[in-house]
Amino acid sequence: MSTSLLYHGFGIRGYRYVNTKYKGGDILFTIRQGPLELCCPVCGSRGIIRRGQVKRRFRSLPIGKKRVWISLYIQRVFCLICQALRQVKIGFADKRRAYTKSFERHALGLSRHMTVRDVANHLQVSWGIIKDIQKRNLQKRYRRPKLKKLKQIAIDGISTGKGHRCLTIVLGLKTGRVVFAAEGKGTEALEPFWKRLKRSKAGIKAAAMDMPPAYITAVIQNVKEAAIVSGHFHVIKPCNEKLSDFRRKPYREAATALEKRALKGTRRLLLKNPDHLDETRNEPQRLKEAIELNQPPATACCMKEGLRQLWSQKDKASAKTFLHDWITRAKSPKISMLMKFAQTLIAHQSGILSYCGYPISTAPLEGTNNKIKTMKRQAYGFRDMEFFKLKIMAIHETKHALVG
């Protein structure tokens, strides 16, 4: 094998080919470094004295299904200029690694289409080696993402396992990239993000988030000029949850089996958008019967559907008028569920009305959360939390078929 094939085939240059051996189905190439190519690894001086050598083997690109090894005697030298005693640098492999740079690039290329375990099995190495290659690559690219151009963000929490283990995720809405991930759910989890944001001098204009107060308080304390936005999803989702609980009471109080049969299975119909009711399944008629039997849930359902019109108002003034009118009508039927939800809207009306100026939501973040859950299932969990967070930072690059 020629020295040029070492360079073009395996990415090794500056070394000379010695021989090839075949052992146990593996291929072993022996190479050496010429005496004129040795220099001090600290100052680069060629005024050196050789002080022994050690033999090392490096895993390189496979040939078919056969493993390929590079064998090299690494020289230790003493520098007459800087008085340093060191081993010479290896040009084709990183420090403290038993594989070449070309092998690392090949493993990263396979990782785009295969799981960590599949890549390890294909290349006949341990699972930890492939994970280490991925982790170092992710650290280099995503450990400190740039925040200077952030204008609009979305903040949410995601459950990562049993025992109320949570991650707080911050998404840049313009790029669709996760810019921060930390353990915990609350103001403390976001403190490192605010410090980095302050150093980057980013001008956050709006932040979309759910209605619980923890994240709202964090944004008010750290980014006072940013508008807090509660979109359509943040309002309708808790309303659906309250309506679902409110619906169960009439079912328990139903006197006859006929009434219970009419109410059974109506949860989805009450929560469903009226425009999406399926006539082939007789859903409009079933919904009408359920409404006739139970007027309070029917009133609550109609009020919820009417609230959807809030986000179609032409400006903030008309949206404010519509919201105040809805709150007044919600209090008039004396239905406890509607009255409590009206108080919730009063407490968050500033964020709800901010949607008129900044029509953003956490919908992109919900899609990211689904990707994270899929990735977590395929990998059977992540014990290394740092690696898990780095994978989340790079999740915008994943395709529909996620890998672990």
Cα gap 291→286, rounded to integer Å: 9
Q: Which domain holds residue 51?
A: 3-93
Task: Provide the domain count of the chain.
Answer: 3
Max CA pair span of the chain: 101
What letter does residue 213 receive in the DSSP assignment? H
Task: Provide the token pair at 68.
Answer: 């390929």
Q: What tens digit of pLDDT does each residue of 272-329 get?
A: 666 677 777 777 776 666 666 566 766 777 787 788 888 888 888 998 998 899 888 8
| 70 in any annotated domain | yes
Say which CATH number the domain at 221 has. Answer: 3.30.420.10
Together in a domain, 203 and 278:
no
Q: What tens digit of pLDDT does each residue of 223-237 get?
A: 888 888 887 777 877
Together in a domain, 12 and 85:
yes
At 157 the pLDDT is 84
| 301 in any annotated domain | yes
Who contacts 93 (Cβ-Cβ below 8 Å, separation ≥6)?
Answer: 58, 99, 100, 101
Look at residue 250 and tell me whether its pLDDT is greater than 80.
no
| 166 in any annotated domain | yes
**Alpha-carbon torsion, ordered 194, 198, 202, 203, to 10 deg:** 80
Q: What tens digit of pLDDT does each residue of 359-400 get?
A: 888 888 888 888 888 887 766 557 788 898 999 998 888 764
Q: What tens digit of pLDDT does each residue of 116-139 get?
A: 888 999 999 999 999 999 999 999
Together in a domain, 170 and 199:
yes
Regarding predicted confidence, which is higher, 193 or 165? 193
Together in a domain, 247 and 282:
yes
At 402 the pLDDT is 46
Amino acid at 227: A
* Average confidence (pLDDT) over 62-81: 92
Regarding predicted confidence, which is higher, 300 or 260? 300
Exposure b/e, 11-36, CB count within 10 A at least 16 = b: bbeebebeeeeeeeeebbbbbebeee
Regarding predicted confidence, which is higher, 7 or 191? 191
Look at residue 78 and tell me whether its pLDDT is greater than 90.
yes
Look at residue 338 and tell me whether its pLDDT is greater than 70.
yes
Together in a domain, 201 and 314:
no
Look at residue 26 and tell me whether its pLDDT is greater than 90.
yes
Together in a domain, 223 and 366:
yes
| 387 in any annotated domain | no
**Across-strand partners of 70?**
29, 58
pTM: 0.74
Q: Which of 50, 70, 93 is at the close of a domain?
A: 93
Regarding predicted confidence, which is higher, 401 or 87? 87
Together in a domain, 261 and 351:
yes
Together in a domain, 214 and 244:
no
Together in a domain, 168 and 243:
no
Together in a domain, 251 and 172:
no
202 three-class SS: coil
Distances (CA, A) of 242 to 36, 277, 308: 79, 21, 16
Q: How many CB atoms lie within 10 A of CB 193?
A: 20
| 167 in any annotated domain | yes
Regarding predicted confidence, which is higher, 82 or 306? 82
Cα gap 182→34, rounded to integer Å: 50
* Average confidence (pLDDT) over 11-23: 89
Task: Provide the token pair at 382.
Answer: 């992540």
Distances (CA, A) of 401 to 112, 146, 175, 263, 373: 10, 28, 21, 40, 13
At 249 the pLDDT is 64
Q: Which of 60, 93, 126 is at the close of a domain?
A: 93
Together in a domain, 226 and 236:
no
Of 148-162, 244-258, 289-303, 328-342, the poorest mean pLDDT is in 244-258
Together in a domain, 15 and 69:
yes
Asked if residues 184 and 168 have their Cβ atoms less than 8 Å apart, the reply is yes
Q: Which of 93, 108, 140 is at the close of a domain?
A: 93
Mean residue pLDDT of the chain comes to: 83
Regarding predicted confidence, which is higher, 264 or 304? 304
